[in-house]
Amino acid sequence: MSPSLFHKLKNYKLIPVFLFFTLTGFENISAQEIKPSAPVHQTTFTYSVKDKQELKMDIYSNLDLHSVQPCVIFVFGGGFIQGTRDSKTYTEYFNRLAANHYKVISIDYRLGLKGVKKLSAFNTKPLRSAIDTAVTDLYNATAYLLKNSKTLGIDPSKIIISGSSAGAITVLQADWEKRNHTSLSFQLPADFQYAGVISFAGAILSYKGAPSYPVAPAPTLFFHGTEDKLVIYNKRRFFNKGFFGSNYLAKRFNEKKISLLLHAGRRHGT
């Protein structure tokens, strides 16, 4: 997702409220945005080494690092070709979440489509591999946080995942894989589930037909441009293979009253 669309879609006043209700079980109580009370500090750690690449995470917090807070793991966008965890595109988003007492963890992941030239609607294997790689790295980052939760001030029951474009695909896919107990998700404890998902123009790639959830998906906040031609807004399906976007997923999730879809009549990157 381009910086312009990301900034047009995000709603900072809504996101802390969504997070508040997500982490309190959507109880019938009021939620108000918390005013910034302290400067935001950034600390960097290496959470894994894959393919000779150090994968790092930046932790943003307005409290001491050891102070326990709910956290949001963020996965950047860039079509699985480019992008960085510390892009200035996302700085305001991180700072606003941190100011509202959420610890933000922005992670590196391997860019699986970098250099790939033979990608098409009839050859989705490179895309599937890139998504699986990104999800694997997200799981590794999550496992690192769980292992070091006391040192890093992480509440394991309050880990939310968020992403933009390719990052949004990654977080939606990660929650789907975890709820379906796929082999990819075995990197995380069996009893662990993400507390929520915030997706900026995401979708799920399935080779098994429409995505199903034997375990209910996490409460999810979707942002998506209705005219997006890059990451499908509704769905595109060819037999059992399909790409299922925010509109389709939100309708399915709303049967369980756990999602919210915000429309924006724009294309991807405009």
- What pLDDT score was predicted for residue 25? 45
- Cα separation, 66 vs 236, in Å, equals 45
Q: Which fold has domain 3-264?
A: Rossmann fold (3.40.50)
More confident residue, 112 or 10: 112
Residue with the bigger pLDDT between 4 and 238: it is 238
Identify the pLDDT of residue 229: 76
- pLDDT tens by residue, 24-78: 543 333 334 445 557 899 999 999 999 999 999 999 999 999 999 999 999 999 9
> Looking at the predicted structure, is the pLDDT value of residue 214 above 50?
yes
pLDDT in tens, 255-265: 766 777 766 66
> How far is C-alpha 261 from the geometric centre of its chain's CA atoms?
15
- Check: pTM over 0.85? Answer yes or no: yes
Mean pLDDT of the chain: 85
Q: 176-182 — which CB contacts under 8 Å span 24+ positions?
A: 176/204, 176/206, 176/211, 176/213, 176/217, 177/135, 179/213, 179/214, 179/215, 179/216, 179/217, 179/218, 180/212, 180/213, 180/214, 180/215, 181/214, 181/215
Q: Which range has the worst mean pLDDT, 55-59, 123-127, 158-162?
A: 123-127
- How many CA atoms are closer than 13 Å to the CA of 22, on its beta-carbon side? 28
Q: Look up residue 199 and give its two tokens.
A: 């997706």
CA–CA separation, 81 and 217 (whole Å): 28
CB 243 within 8 A of CB 203: yes
Token pair recorded at residue 110: 């391997």
pLDDT at 133 over 90: yes
pLDDT band at 146 (very low <50, low <70, confident <90, very high): very high
Domain ranges for the chain, please list them.
Answer: 3-264
How distant, in Å, are the alpha carbons of 21, 109, 111 from that of 82? 33, 10, 7
Residue 126 reports pLDDT greater than 50: yes
Instruction: Compute the distance between CA of residue 186 and CA of residue 61 in angstroms, rounded to an integer.
Output: 29
